Amino acid sequence: MPLLTIDDIEVNASEGMTILEAAQKAGIWIPTLCYYPKITPSDSCRMCVVEIEGVHRPMTSCNTIVRDGMRVRTDTPQVKNIREEVMKLVLMDHPLDCPICPAAGECEIQTLTYRLGIAGAEHLMERRSGSIVKNWPLIQYNPNLCITCLRCVKVCHEVIGAGALALQELGYNARINTRDGGVLKCDFCGECVEACPSGAMSYKDSKTWARSWELRKTPTICTLCSAGCRMEMNVKDDKIFRITTDPTSHNNGNLCVGGRFGYDLVHNKDRLVSPLIRREGAFRPVFWEEALSYVSEKFKKIIMESGPDSIAALASPRLTNEDCYAFQKFFRSVIGTNNIDSEARFSFLRVQRAMELTCGVKGTTNTLEELLKTEAVLVIGIDPVEETPALGWKIKIASRRYDSNVIVANSRQTSLDPFARTRLRIRPYSESELALGMMKIILDLDLWDRKFVRDRTTNFLPMKSLLDKIPLKGILKRTGLSAEELEEAARIFAEASTASIIFGGDVILQENGLQCVMNLVNLALLTGAMGRSNSGIYPIFEKGNIVGLCDMGVMPEYMPGYQDMAAVRDLFEKTWKAKLPYSKGKTATEIARGLESGEVRAIYIAGADPLTDYPNAGRWASALKKAELLVTQDMFMSPTAELAHCVFPVASFAEKEGTMTNIEHRVQRLAQVIPPLGPTMPDWSILEELAKTMGHSMGYFSASDVFREITHTVPLYKGISPQDLEGNGKILRPFSTSPERLFNEKSFSFAPVRTWEAPDKDAADYPFEMVVGRSMYHFGSTSTRSMNLLGLCPCGNVEINPDDASELGLKQGDLVEVMSPQGAFKAPAEISYKISRGLIFVPVNFPGLGVYRLFDENTNVCRVKLSAPGKTSYA
């Protein structure tokens, strides 16, 4: 480690550290202007110059690497003079309009001017008077405040990988613009605004409503996706004005469009603010006491007549760990049933089962940060930039900065295609076949990791015997790839010293999802990409707390912590002071069947919306209408809530405290930032009040009471203290620091393989395949209540190939009807080469579309036909 002296202070620096970084480590101030810690140094402003003994001229400290024995002075007369002159040149044509400037109070130019003791602008020239760019969504640009430091351009390119901004012209007329000169089209992460030192880039609304010194910052987490990024809510008068971040957070202070701009859904005028009971076909607001008594009496009557198993419940991954734990406890200990489930049945639990059978891990095997050092990354059936942006950005950085070889396999173009070494445009439903094909080639070319397979795995020979019987020719036909394409991908992945596989909804939600996940794990085991640093499996889920929801036992087959009920019955009965049910319990699909048959008479839905989010939504709509009692608790009146007999209003994520667990099993604290809206309550509190009304209090007075019980009954969460949840929280999975990581004492196990082809039923009458997923600007259906995000994406579109659109006579924005044997919907056409011929893509985020009503299976692909205006024939 180099030892240098800065202003007579000895500093131990790390190899490769710059003088500026070493000074900051030692608490020595060096002024900066164009420097921004997230990007590579520009050394263009000269503000950070220092004198180095033995060097004849001042050097910029932001890009000068330290060396042992170096002696640095940061405050010599010459250095001070240079800095003052730089600042005076900046002020030469910079408006001194601090009282009305959007950056007042946090402007770096303002701060430097004061700290350097500059009283005014000595050098004067004509002030710039360019027009403010206001036609961009969410962000505006004032060229008159811009000092062309290029921080916004570089953070957009180097950190986010969007490359949406560029420097236009040079000299006096220099300004920032979009690359094509048009309206800004990008990820809308807000990083350009956060990087701007002068207020030239600013948010359109928030900074005009409140000054920085008026805002109270509260650290919390984003709940929209499963990355669980840390952020700071800026509040004044119990209203959220903007979102900022801490650069030391595990997400490096980066936020996506949802985290940065989705906060306004909390203040949406359509929030539910009082309990509702349906009377004579219409909802009537009532007080909590009446609503709770109504549900309590209905529950008691149904239990007395048909038993507790005539009641079922569904929860949402939007709920906190405390909400989920209280939810399953209420139905097991108060109602007396195991009929509880969630949408994780169709996603996370499939992955969990496949990975338990093969590698003994639930969820991701490694941290997100390790992706930066992965030599090869296979991204299959997902666009991470759209579904989990924090992970997608890491892949971009890994490709651009660390030369990681990215393999993208998808049925449509993705945001990662420009960063990929090879792109495989596969057919829908063929992800499993792709994994089998890569394995066959790796074995044929003898690229497999013999030592790892021999020492760390079991069941290799039975798997290989089955794989040998599957012809490669059939795999190529089903995937739509050439042998050369498949071999290139196989070589890249197998020859890498470290490799990771990332997959998402296209893999998890398909009918063959369980087998597909097992095939991908087999591929990782065959190449030794498991059980060590920077190599592993990353299943990606959309909603914020899907891992925590399952950890808390919101499923019929397991108690919290995936514990078998028979083994832990005594522990929970003693803790809960109640008898637990012996019945098996129904899964979500079985609950729907029970509603149809009348076996299930009442259903309680907390935060979930089966009519929007569940596969086969048409069946759910019919089943829920048959319920004698449907109770929902939610922030908004969802399509499911519209069918309810009683609706409870809940506090938003900004109005309650608790914990959430992200995809890398990082448990983090969710802070209460503002008071609950009106009489709304946290989900766990509603369940506690309902339990009291039924005469069986669960003993909870705060979220911390629930969490304390979690740390007592859930093995993985035992020993967590409140201090562990400060800052970046605690990763629970026992990642070791050694390169070889054993997740358990057992060996990894290969799973049996089989080929599978999606049935072509109805192909003649329904020639298109519809693939569904999520919009880049929305997260589930909750974010469609954000006016900021709706401004970027106001509705769901039918993404269609231009050639198909031409045959149908469709133009951009034309209304197109999408039909399957189960239903139909209409939406505007989005004509794009991102989608292949014969396919369409539709986001499922918008409740009004009811996309899942077109499905009759638990999958994300179905056959449809399209109708253009005035036409009855179909392509």
DSSP assignment of 331-345: IIIII----EEEGGG
Question: Helix, strand or coil for residue 98?
Answer: helix
Which residues are CB-neighbours of 566 under 8 A, at least 6 positions away?
A: none
In angstroms, the CA 262 to CA 652 distance is 12
Dihedral of the alpha carbons of 416, 828, 634, 243, in degrees to the nearest 10: 50
* Least reliable range by pLDDT among 331-335, 484-488, 612-616: 612-616
What pLDDT sits at residue 735? 44
Q: What is the mean pLDDT of residues 703-723?
A: 94
What pLDDT sits at residue 746? 52
Q: What is the mean pLDDT of residues 390-417?
A: 93
| Percent of the chain predicted with pLDDT > 70 | 96
Residue 117 zone, left/alpha/beta (φ > 0; ψ -120 to 50; rest): left
What the block records as the tokens of 162 is: 């969007």
Regarding beta strands 861-867 and 768-773, do their DSSP bridges make them parallel or antiparallel, or are they unpaired?
Answer: antiparallel
Question: Helix, strand or coil for residue 278?
Answer: strand
Which residues are CB-neighbours of 570 under 8 A, at least 6 positions away?
A: none
What pLDDT sits at residue 278? 96
pLDDT at 741 over 50: no
pLDDT at 146 over 80: yes
DSSP state of 767: -
DSSP state of 469: T
* Least reliable range by pLDDT among 163-177, 278-292, 598-612: 163-177
What the block records as the tokens of 698 is: 């669960």
Task: Give residue 1's pLDDT band: very low, low, confident or very high (50, 70, 90).
Answer: confident
What pLDDT sits at residue 207? 53
In angstroms, the CA 271 to CA 293 distance is 23
Residue 89 · residue 59 · CB < 8 Å: no
Residue 115 · residue 31 · CB < 8 Å: yes
What the block records as the tokens of 577 is: 């002071």
Choice between 475 and 531, residue whose per-residue pLDDT is larger = 475
What the block records as the tokens of 556 is: 């019929």
What pLDDT sits at residue 869? 67
CA angle 723, 726, 732 (to 5 degrees): 80
Task: Report which of 342, 747, 757, 751 is spatially closest to residue 514, judged by C-alpha positions.
Answer: 751
What's the pTM?
Answer: 0.94
Residue 152 · residue 165 · CB < 8 Å: yes
For the segment 654-705, what is each residue's pLDDT rounded down to a tens digit? 999 999 999 999 999 999 999 999 999 999 999 999 999 999 999 999 999 9
Which residues are CB-neighbours of 859 under 8 A, at least 6 positions away?
A: 509, 510, 511, 615
pLDDT at 777 over 60: yes
Task: Report which of 683, 782, 689, 679 is spatially closest to residue 273, judged by C-alpha positions.
Answer: 679
pLDDT at 612 over 60: yes
Question: Helix, strand or coil for residue 197?
Answer: coil
For the segment 17-59, what is each residue's pLDDT rounded down to a tens digit? 999 999 999 999 999 999 999 999 987 888 999 999 999 999 9
Question: Helix, strand or coil for residue 731?
Answer: strand
Task: Report which of 530, 603, 572 is spatially closest to residue 749, judged by C-alpha positions.
Answer: 530
Residue type at 149 in one-letter notation: C
Sequence-ordered alpha helix ranges (H) in 616-716 = 617-624, 683-693, 703-713
What the block records as the tokens of 483 is: 């042998």
Residue type at 732 in one-letter notation: L
In angstroms, the CA 537 to CA 684 distance is 33
Question: What is the gyration radius of the CA atoms in the chain, in angstroms?
Answer: 29
Residue 590 · residue 366 · CB < 8 Å: no
Task: Give residue 604's pLDDT band: very low, low, confident or very high (50, 70, 90).
Answer: very high
Task: Give residue 355's pLDDT band: very low, low, confident or very high (50, 70, 90).
Answer: confident
For the segment 327-350, what is each residue's pLDDT rounded down to a tens digit? 999 999 999 999 999 999 988 888
pLDDT at 734 over 70: no
What pLDDT sits at residue 742? 44
Handedness of CA 353, 359, 362, 366 (dihedral sign): negative
pLDDT at 93 over 90: no
Residue labelled with tokens 């080469």: 833
Read off φ and ψ for residue 685, nearest 5 degrees: -70, -35
pLDDT at 761 over 90: no
Residue labelled with tokens 């469709």: 810
Task: Give residue 875's pLDDT band: very low, low, confident or very high (50, 70, 90).
Answer: very low
Integer distance in angstroms from the first to the last C-alpha of the chain?
Answer: 67
Residue 87 · residue 118 · CB < 8 Å: yes
What pLDDT sits at residue 861? 80
What pLDDT sits at residue 872? 42
Rounded mean pLDDT of the chain?
A: 91
